[in-house]
Amino acid sequence: MSGVIVLGDNADWIVAGWVYDNVLAYIAEELEPSRRELAQLLLNSRTGVALGYCDLSGLDAGQFQSLAQAAARALSAVKKRGPSAFHYPSFYPGFVDRFEELRRLLEGDARLTTRPR
């Protein structure tokens, strides 16, 4: 099973389900408690709940900026913990590569250059 995040304007992130679920959980953890609704959107989009589909194209600039910042913090935390935190440490490099791919997609979105209301 795989998971997909739709960012909009033909920007999608499609990865293995276990990568998708864990990335969403890590980002949601960084969003709590200040952006609880956004965190719940991510958690409710995991493969066991919503079959691995998360549409973020409707987020406004403020929500999107919070999401991008949380993703950057989550990725930094994953890197700090390192491969030993993984059940299968050999999967760590691929996981980080996919997470960095999402971070680049988020950083390339026009909503990051739009001032939130």
Residue at 117 is within a domain:
no
Strand locations in 1-117 (E): 2-8, 11-16, 53-55
Half-sphere exposure of 16 toward its Cβ, with a 13 Å CA cutoff?
9
Q: What digits encode the pLDDT tens for the residues 41-100?
A: 999 999 998 889 999 999 999 999 999 999 999 999 999 999 999 999 999 999 999 999
Domain that holds residue 33: 2-112
Q: Is residue 12 part of a domain?
A: yes
Whether 102 is covered by a domain: the verdict is yes
Q: Each residue of 86-113: pLDDT tens digit?
A: 999 999 999 999 999 999 999 999 999 8
Q: Which residue has the tokens 């389900």?
A: 17
DSSP 60: -
Q: CA dihedral defined by 38, 40, 43, 49, rounded to 10 degrees?
A: -130
Predicted local distance difference test score (pLDDT) of residue 111: 92
**Residue 108 maps to a domain:** yes
Domains in the chain, number: 1
pLDDT tens-digit readout, 17-48: 999 999 999 999 999 989 999 999 999 999 99
Please check the confidence at residue 115 and state whether its pLDDT lies above 70: no
Question: Is 95 part of any domain?
Answer: yes
Q: Looking at residue 113, what is its pLDDT? A: 84
